[in-house]
Structure formats: structure tokens, C-alpha cells
Amino acid sequence: MLRFGDSARLGRRDFLRVGSLALGGMSLPWLIPTANAGTKLSEAGKPVTDKSVVFLFLHGGPSQFETFDPKMTAPAEVRSTTGEIKTAIPGVTFGTTFPKLAERANRLCVVRSFVPGDANHDIKTIVGKDSFGANIGSAYASAVGGNNPSNGMPTNCVLFPRAVDPAAGVEQGGFGKFVSTGPFPANTAPFQPDGTGNAKNDMKLNLPMSRLEDRRALLSGFDQLKRGFEAESASVDAARQKAFSILLGGVGEAFDISKEDVKTVEKYDTAKLYDVTKIDKKWNNWKHYTDNAKTLGKLMLLARRLCERGAGFVTVTTNFVWDMHADNNNAHVTEGMSYMAPPLDHAISTFLDDLRDRGLEDKVMLVVCGEMGRTPRINGKGGRDHWGNLGPLMLAGGGLPEGVVIGKSSANGGDPATDPVRIPNLIGTIMHTLFDTGKLRITRGVSRELLTMSEYTPIRGLHG
């Protein structure tokens, strides 16, 4: 771990010790590009497809009715409170708060028979028993290494609101740890680029007066380190010089969205969609609604930047906003969707358009779901309660079929009527997107847990 603090005094001995600096678990000499610098992981002998996955986790449990399965022919107490809107897929409708995604439905894969399995608030779709208690990205990193060897980019990252807005609230950790590695080595932990980090996160640049994206502070810290070393020695190991260059030039730049074109940042910006000061503060969750509105677009922009530069798995989540009980904490469904849906609709649509414009549409797969769905019947306060038998799931990109609706739900939208899709099937689809599973099975050193995950049956109709 490398820390720059106000009282840091680093001498030659400290400088030489950076050879063991963990950057996502890899010592700096391992980050040095070889003659094959810039080559794909598959070309470096890894059992991968050179695709990336962005997993957007909707914390709190989104409703299947108000998102992608309105059920408008059902009784009033069942059907979507926000109505329905036609999509680019004939005969398929979404909730009315998703007009942009409706226009792009012919580029999406919507699963209407996804079974989360229980109604608990947790993060089981991204970290759960089916992933052996690990973030799915840690399973990926266990096979490819903690960093992309061509530039030092962490292969597994998790993005919370503070990654793009230091004023945002801390991440929700009460229902599971997004940085969990389960049985996989510590160096597979997702890198969390917000400066608060986690004690088990091996890549941490602790900058008390700034954040990772403030490259001036980062550069100043390394300059201080370099001056202290040069005062005692006229030369430094060339490999370590190169490693510092990689860290400062490649990794640091990737996490700094201010380096992005201003027009692109503006396109992603979800803060402009509505006046967050008008969010009703009688709901205890109003701060989370605000964080969601202000940060989701920029988080998706940052996810694209990381994938573009070599990250293979990126988890994105805002704070706990998708709980829909209509209690002291959470708004009723109709009001809550007016806070939560516009940022999601805009951020995903912009992300997909951006991937297409950059030629990355088949290289990056997006997964969107939460921990559960919502009850078929609206409660007496205008909310929906926890429901584990059915929940929304959407995928796009990564070479998946487009304009596809998988499965059907029951008449009341509470259970799968056909083709039930479960969490192992989702994980199987992710594994088949990231890995050449045939090659993975004959690769030495692959863990039993990763092999098991790679053998999960993918969602039918997506990977055969």
C-alpha cells in the first residue's frame, strides 16, 4: 500500500520498497509492458475473449412492473403505476419513465422471467452464494491477474458515487460487501477509486487532501518521493521508472473524467435532468435520491473509460434508492420512479450510444438488475414490498442478440410463466462473455470455484 500524507518523509529505503507496491495485488515490476505491450489478454495466453462486463446494480430492489414488464391488462392494484410506453420492439412496452430505453429496445435483451430467489435486501446477484461469496469480478481477476499487464489498469473495479463526486454519501455496505473476494486471493479485490477504500483493497493511494482523480496531488506526491531518492542516489531502476510512468500516465488518467471531452461529459450528465432540491425531504432516502441523480451518468462514463483501457469487470452502483415501500424512508412507487428512473434511463442510453460510436458495442456487455423484484400487489400506501420470485433484468452489448425478450411472466407479474432464469444462468452468461470457457477448463491453476461458475448454464437464447 502506498500512502502520501502531509507528514510523509520518504527516503531511499522507502523508495526502493515500491518494488513491492501492490497495484491491485501486482508488484510494480509486473506492470512493466514487455515487447508485447498493448497486446490483448488473449494474445498473452489468457483464456479470455477480451470483452468486458459492466454490472450496474440497482440497490434496493427495482420493480419489474414499473421498469420492463408493465402488465397493463392486469387489475389496477397490480399493473404499473406509471403506465406503459411502446418500444422499438413491436408489441413490447416499458414503463413510461423509460422513453429513451424504449427507443433503444431493439438493442437490448430484456429478461421477464428472472428469479432472484429470495426477497432479502442483499447483493446476491453480484456477490452471493452462487459466486462463492465473491464479487463476480474477483473470479474473473483470479484468472487474468489483478492488473492489465500492458498498462497497469486494474482488471476488476467497483464504482460508488464518491468515485465521481466527493460530496456524495458513503457506499451502502449494510447488505453485503461489493469488494468481497470470497475464496479468491486478496489481489483480486475490486479496486475502489474513491479514497475511502477498504482495508483489504491492495491498490490504495491515500491522499488526505484530495482524491485519486486529482492527479496534481498524485504527481506532487511522486515528485516528493523522487526528489528524496535523487538526493541519495544518482540512478534508479529503469523498471521502476517505467512502473511509475504507467501508474501516473495510464491508471491515473483513466480515473480522471475531467480528461474526457467536455461535450461527452455533458452528454452523460444526469444531474441536469431535474432540480434535485425539489426532492421531497420528508423521505429519509432523499439524499440517496440526490446522489443517484447527480452521479449515475458520470459513473457510467467512468465505467466506459475503464473498460476502454483494459478493465475487464466493473461494478457500478449508486446508494440505496430502489426500495419502494412508501414508508418513512422511501417514496411511493410513482413518486419514487420520478426520482430514480430518469437518471437510469438517460445514463444507460448514453452509455450504449457511446459504446456504439466508439466501436465498443460488441466488446462491452452491460448487465442491469438489483437484488430482488417487487410484489404484484401495491400496498395500502402506494408502494410495493419485497418479492423474490421475479425481478427485472436487462442486458445489452457484448455481442449478445439484440431486441430480444427472454421468457414471460405470469398474469400477475409475480412468477415466471416460461423459461425461468436464475442467478447461476446470469453468471453463466457473464462467464461465457468474458472467457473462452473451453480454454479456461484446460488452463493450469484455475480455481475450482471459477471452473464451477464457468460451467453454469447461460441464459437460453443468448449463448446457445
Report the CATH number that the domain containing residue 354 is assigned in CATH. Answer: 3.40.720
Domain assignment present for 150: yes
pLDDT tens across the length of the chain (464 residues) = 333 334 344 444 434 333 333 343 444 433 433 333 445 888 778 999 999 999 999 999 999 999 999 999 999 999 999 999 999 999 999 999 999 999 999 999 999 999 999 999 999 999 999 999 999 999 999 999 998 887 888 999 999 999 999 999 988 888 999 999 999 999 999 999 863 433 333 344 333 333 334 444 444 554 555 555 454 444 445 445 544 544 555 577 889 899 999 999 999 999 999 999 999 999 999 999 999 999 999 999 999 999 999 999 999 999 889 999 999 999 999 999 999 999 999 999 999 999 999 999 999 999 999 999 999 999 999 999 999 999 999 999 999 999 999 999 999 999 999 999 999 999 999 999 999 999 999 999 999 999 999 999 999 988 75
Domain assignment present for 6: no
For residue 90, the enclosing domain spans: 41-199+260-454
Question: In this structure, are strands 52-58 and 364-370 parallel, antiparallel, or unpaired?
Answer: parallel
CA gyration radius for the chain?
A: 22
Domain assignment present for 380: yes
Q: What's residue 237's pLDDT?
A: 54
Domain assignment present for 232: no
| Contact call for residues 98 and 345 (beta carbons, < 8 A) | yes
- The model carries a pTM of 0.85
Q: What's residue 208's pLDDT?
A: 34
Length of the chain as a residue count: 464
Give me the phi and psi of 368, to 5 degrees please: -130, 115
Q: What's residue 197's pLDDT?
A: 38
| Contact call for residues 109 and 65 (beta carbons, < 8 A) | no
Domain count, the chain: 1
In 200-316, DSSP assigns E strands to: 205-206, 313-316
Instruction: State which amino acid sits at residue 45.
Output: G
Which triple of cell numbers denotes residue 395? 442486458
| Contact call for residues 446 and 440 (beta carbons, < 8 A) | yes
In 218-340, DSSP assigns E strands to: 313-316
Domain assignment present for 420: yes
Domain assignment present for 375: yes
Q: What's residue 21's pLDDT?
A: 39
Give me the phi and psi of 31, to 5 degrees please: -85, -5
| Contact call for residues 82 and 95 (beta carbons, < 8 A) | yes
Q: What's residue 223's pLDDT?
A: 55
Domain assignment present for 61: yes
Domain assignment present for 302: yes
